[in-house]
Amino acid sequence: MRHRVSIAAKLEELERLCREHGLPLTVQRRAVLEALMQRHDHPTADQVAEDVALRLPGVSRTTVYRVLDTLVRINIARKVCHPGAAARFEVESHRHHHLVCVECGHMIDLEDSRLDELPFPESEVHGFQLTDYSIQFRGTCAACGRKSGAAKPEIPLHQRRRERNPSQTGKNS
């Protein structure tokens, strides 16, 4: 069990963040965050929903999806990239990394020789046979240009929806 941050502390953080963002602190939000914290893997929304259902029956799957979305928005949770779920492709080539906009998902390649020779971790302890790596830098793209603190979003949080139109990605060179 690895608890860098206690669940209680995180719940307080949730409370604070909700207040800052003017979001009601609902039992569902609390339950989803608790459920997420008790798993140390990277559960899918549905897995979280299952866990939530155990501690707070009656919470709908839809709500879990929405709450997770909110938690990500207020920066208390994060969506993890996963090849099994990903849907974007590139040609396999030289080592490079990605700049990813957490707002809209816009993503561009990055090459930086300083980052090309990182030490490989002792993956053997995990039974992993590593062959490659790439770094994902998270932030805000020019278009989204959000204040990094997210203190006062132009658009109310609950109205913002993840950018879904992948055509935007086409604007990089």
Q: Which residues bind DNA (CB under 7 A)?
A: 18, 23-29, 44-46, 58-63, 65-67, 69-70, 85, 87, 156, 158, 161-162
Q: Under a CB-based contact definition with an 8 Å cutoff, are residues 143 and 108 in contact? A: no
Q: Under a CB-based contact definition with an 8 Å cutoff, are residues 30 and 7 in contact? A: no
Judged by beta carbon, residue 96 or residue 158, the one nearer DNA is 158
Binding residue for its own copies, selected from 11, 56, 99, 157, defined by CB under 8 A: 99
Question: Which of 148, 132, 135, 78 is closest to 109 using CA atoms?
Answer: 135
- For position 80 contacting its own copies by CB under 8 A, the verdict is yes
Binding string, 38-77, against its own copies, x = CB under 8 A?
A: -xxxxxxx-xx-------------------x--xx--xxx
* Residue 64 Cβ vs DNA, minimum distance, rounded to whole Å: 7
A 10 A CB-CB count for 9 gives: 11
Judged by beta carbon, residue 87 or residue 151, the one nearer DNA is 87
- For position 127 contacting its own copies by CB under 8 A, the verdict is yes
Q: Which residues, in sequence order, are CB contacts of 95 under 8 Å at separation 6+?
A: 111, 116, 132, 133, 134
